[in-house]
Structure 1
Amino acid sequence: MSIHTTELIKAKFAGIDFHKKTSVVALGDSTGRVLEQITLPNELSQIRKYFKQFHGLECVVESCRGYEWLVEELQEMGHTVHMGDARSIKLIAQTRCKTDKIDSRLLMELIAKDYLPTCYQPTRQERMLRELVRHRAQLVRSAVKHKLRVHAHLDKENKGIFSPFTIQGRQKLNEVKLTESRRQQVDDELEIIDFLELKIAEQDAKVKYISRSNPDVALLKTIPGFDVLMSIAFIAEVGDITRFKKAKQVAAFLGLVPRVYSSGDTRRNGRITKCGSKLMRWMLVQGAWSAIHASSNLRKMFHDIERRKGKKVAVVAVARKLATIAYHVLKEKTEYQESLLDAGLARAAF
């Protein structure tokens, strides 16, 4: 057995700097000493051939686009994979000289010294739900973009139509006289809109089908402002609810808590952090407007804050409250109860 092979047997940690075409791997022993650094092409055969030499490695991959297949492959080979928080790692280890070898070695050393900042690694099912919800949202945004183009074409000839995409509106839109070139452009836009709305309906059907077999969706739907889509989105974006110890951690995860500036005796709260899922944050704010009408307690909360801070701050506060309520509903596996808020929001279980 060669000296090199003997050294590699001691490998316990692996820092992987993942890229689209290649991955730079830094192997280290139990003390974090570098044993080998190698660049591997991102091909299954090469990845399997290399990592099958080792048993039970502690691997680190930074959270980035397209990493999923590599993580699943390493886990199938019996290795443990940690997801490094790229933002925190950058703050911890800023350097003037940045190369792939340095990055892979840094990841390995952080896990070896038990100083690696990690982030949540969603399950395959959670990833599929996220992709479903985000794909639907992208289709809706695209449809809205093309509808705005139709409005723009009509406005250019001063022939705007109120609600041109209803049944009656489409009839008026077909009858309105436009120049030949603009009529062709409007017809093209309508064809695209019809296609997108068909795809949106297909995604809605998938969401409803999935919701039937998920008991958590039924629980979340009892919360004011939560419908099937929003319930599925919350489950997908938040993931395993038991990883949060407190409800306010969920609000922080979704970026619905204010920034804090504190020094000495001075403390000031700024705007919300806007961390986490932008889509989920937007959906909670939209759901908050519905919740204000459905719940007397949330309506009172909204008006109390509105008088002091204004509508925008008040509705975000209600959205944050919905996130904490959803945490308790999922954590305790119980339906939402308005009576728990009747005693006063400050003392409520939710």
Structure 2
Amino acid sequence: MRFIGLDVHQKYVEGCEIGPDKKKRRFRIANTRESWEEFAQTLDPETRVVMEATSNAFWIYDILSGYPAQVVIANTLKTRAIAEARIKTDALDAQILAQLLAADFIPESWVPDKEKYQLRVLLHHRIRLAKIRTMLKNKIHAVLIRNGIQSPWSDLFGKNGRRFLESISLPETEQIIVCSSLRLLDAVQKEMTALEADLFVRAKENPDVKLLMGIPGISALSALTILAEIGDISRFSSPKKLASYAGLVPSVHQSGKTRYTGHITKEGRSVLRWILVQCAQRAVQSEGKLRAFYLGLKAKKGHKIAIVATARKLLHVVWAVLVRQEEYRDLRRDLLDKKLKTMNRKAKKYEVTTDELWRIIEDVGEIPDEQAPRWLQGAG
């Protein structure tokens, strides 16, 4: 057997191969598709390859998994703990990965299929756009605060709020900041609307989305995000294991016979944890079991602990609904119908023509044809 560890960087990858003779061979690969295709040609069924679960590891995995070798993505947190215990280092370089793989000490990460991975990427892009939108709004609010101006409107960015912003008098530099931020805000909102319309189409095509939409606080896009983050629900034999995957379980510390529980671990899928807390915030606004649970705990432990516990309880409900393929027991049909109407109304495929892509590129700066992406070269 050959064991190959890959330490993936942005522009290159450090590799270490341990052959049948136990000798180590180090090498470096340029992090380009052409280099990986060439490297993949050297793989055979007697080869095992491992790399850490970094942001750019999955497209490499996608290329290599099409060849005979066994390719695994290492669970970074667990692998690092094993490496520190056995090799006394916190640097997971290529040689250590290869050694752990040869000793069968690599805890593997579950790798989503291409469709699920691409959906995750789109949903994460939407979240980043939402954060940019919030940042721009906060910037405008900050301008008003430091100039002693209070808006008479609760929504500063609705129609009346925008008219108010146009009517106020500000110093020239502050006016530039507000106008610039509003233009950026409009551009971000336009992209978010188009992207969300495409995501609504994908949500309509997934029957599990409708099942989750029956749960209080979960919208179509929230359901799609939860499903994309979970992947295959059959991986989790219990709701507790799913909650652990989301990092929504309490940390445990033990000293002798004394056992302490602390804050949640925050390990695992941070986006899954975030979206569940958002859904819990909405769920407790309407009457039902989740609200009653939240209010009972809030009186004893406060809002933060109560809302996190509600998010965990919500995830238990998600697990039960998906595993049993049954509607939520306390489903409110009127609320589900309202959510479905919104989804159907907003669903529209995201389309960008080649001409529009060229316009975007030219707005940034004209580039020679030979430097354009290969799939755009020669396009008209």
- In structure 2, distance between residues paired with 1:47 and 1:283: 35
Residue 195 of structure 1 aligns with an amino acid whose one-letter code is: A
- 3-state SS in 1 of match to 2:254: strand
- Whichever residue aligns with residue 182 of structure 1, its letter is E
Matched residues, percent identical?
A: 29
Q: Which residue of 2 aligns with 1:34?
A: 23
One-letter code of the match for 1:146?
Answer: L
2:41 maps to a residue whose letter is: K
> Displacement of 1:219 after TM fit?
0.8
Q: Distance in 2 between matches of 1:290 and 1:29?
A: 56
Aligned-partner Cα distance in 1 for 2:34–2:232: 33
155-164 vs 265-274, which deviates more? 155-164
1:99 offset after TM fit, Å?
A: 7.8
Q: Secondary structure at the match of 1:54?
A: coil
Separation in 1 of the partners of 2:310 and 2:146?
41
- Local SS of the residue matching 1:259: strand
Whether 1:15 and 2:10 are equivalent positions in the alignment is no
Instruction: Count matched residues.
Output: 326
| Residues 89-130 of structure 1 deviation map (CA, whole Å, 9 limit, x = unaligned) | 222223577888xx3232222222221122221222222222
Q: Aligned pair 1:243/2:232, yes or no? A: no
Q: Is the CA contact 1:262–1:268 (under 8 Å) kept in the aligned structure 2?
A: yes
The alpha-carbon distance between structure 1 residues 196 and 46, as it changes in their structure 2 partners (threshold 3 A), is: closer
| Contact in 2 for aligned 1:151/1:160 (Cα 8 Å) | no
The question of whether the paired residues in 2 share the 8 Å contact of 1:256 and 1:274 is answered with: yes
Q: What is the identity, as a one-letter code, of the residue corresponding to 2:22?
A: R
Q: Secondary structure at the match of 2:112?
A: coil
Contact 2:245 2:268 in 1 (8 A): yes
* Correspondence list, 1:200-211, <5 A: 200-211=192-203
For the pair 1:145 / 2:135, whether they are aligned, the reply is yes
Counterparts of 1:165 and 1:231, CA distance in 2: 27
Distance 1:192 1:295, change over 3 A: same
- The RMSD of aligned alpha carbons is 2.2
The answer to whether 1:328 aligns with 2:320 is: yes
| 1:122-154, Cα deviation, whole Å (9 max, x unpaired) | 222222222212211111111111112212222
Task: Find 2:41's aligned residue among 45, 49, 52.
Answer: 52
Instruction: Name the SS of the counterpart of 1:76 in structure 2.
Output: coil
Trace 1:332-347 onto structure 2 (pairs within 5 A): 332-338=324-330
Other structure's SS at 1:36 match: strand
1:26 to 1:157, Cα distance in 2 relative to 1, 3 A:
closer
Is 2:258 aligned against 1:258? no
The residue that corresponds to 2:270 in the other structure is: 278
How far, CA to CA, are the matches of 1:322 and 1:328 in structure 2? 10
Which residue identity lines up with residue 70 of structure 2 in the other structure?
T
Residues 179-188 or 116-125, more deviating: 179-188
Corresponding residue of 1:8: none
Provide the C-alpha distance between the structure 2 equivalents of 1:221 and 1:98, rounded to a whole number of angstroms.
Answer: 43
Moved more, 120-129 or 187-196: 120-129
| Mapping 1:84-103, distance limit 5 Å | 84-94=74-84, 103=93
1:70 lines up with 2:55 in the alignment? no
- Is 2:258 aligned against 1:269? no
Q: 1:117 is matched with which residue?
A: 107
Q: Take 1:314 and 1:331, find their aligned partners in 2: how far apart are those partners?
A: 26
What residue number does 2:165 align with? 173
User: 1:228: how far off?
Assistant: 0.7
Letter in 1 for 2:42: Q
Partners of 1:49 and 1:203 in 2: CA distance: 35
Q: What does residue 295 of structure 2 align with?
A: 303
Question: 1:281–1:240: structure 2 CA closer, same or farther, 3 Å change rule?
Answer: same
